[in-house]
Amino acid sequence: GTWEGLPVLTWGWADRRVLATRRQLRAMDLAPGGHDPVAALVFGHRRPGRRCEYARLWLIARAVPKRTPTTAQLRAVRAALIARRTCTGPCGQVQPRCVSTTSRMCPACETTTNFWPRYAAEHGYTWEESA
């Protein structure tokens, strides 16, 4: 049969030396390179009522080496990850984990500034402290 216009292969019918999924290409330091997939691999479930899953397959021969990021791109990603961990509250420190996307503050600053009760009141909720 076909799936999204691609011929469907079942488990064991796709030659591993010729076809690969996107993840398999990444493991080989390759990328599809703008080429469309040539087939789909179906993963059937033995349980009745479960949907089948599909994986797109690309030709390994058409794959290109995956691009390496520039130093500027790596610097930008590093800065973005630090920004996700930086508290915008009174402490302003870089935290070991990402701060809340709602408050952009660490838990200590949320408590200090009484953020959640104020946020709840502004949005029509009630906030009760648990004892």
Q: What is the pTM of this model?
A: 0.59
Q: Please give the single-letter amino acid code of residue 128.
A: E
User: Per-residue confidence of the chain (131 residues) as pLDDT tens digits?
Assistant: 888 888 888 877 778 899 999 999 999 999 999 999 999 988 876 677 777 788 999 999 999 999 999 999 999 999 999 999 999 999 999 999 999 999 999 999 999 999 999 999 999 888 776 65
Count of other CB atoms within 10 angstroms of residue 54? 14
**Which among 115, 122, 118, 117 has a CA at the least distance from the CA of 101?**
115
Residue 29 is predicted with a pLDDT of: 95
Q: What are phi and psi of 34, to 5 degrees?
A: 90, -5
For residue 75, the surrounding DSSP H or E stretch is: helix 71-85
Enter the tokens of residue 121.
């009141």
Helices (H), 34-86: 71-85
Task: Compute the radius of gyration of the chain from its Cα atoms.
Answer: 24
Do the Cβ atoms of 54 and 47 come closer than 8 Å? no
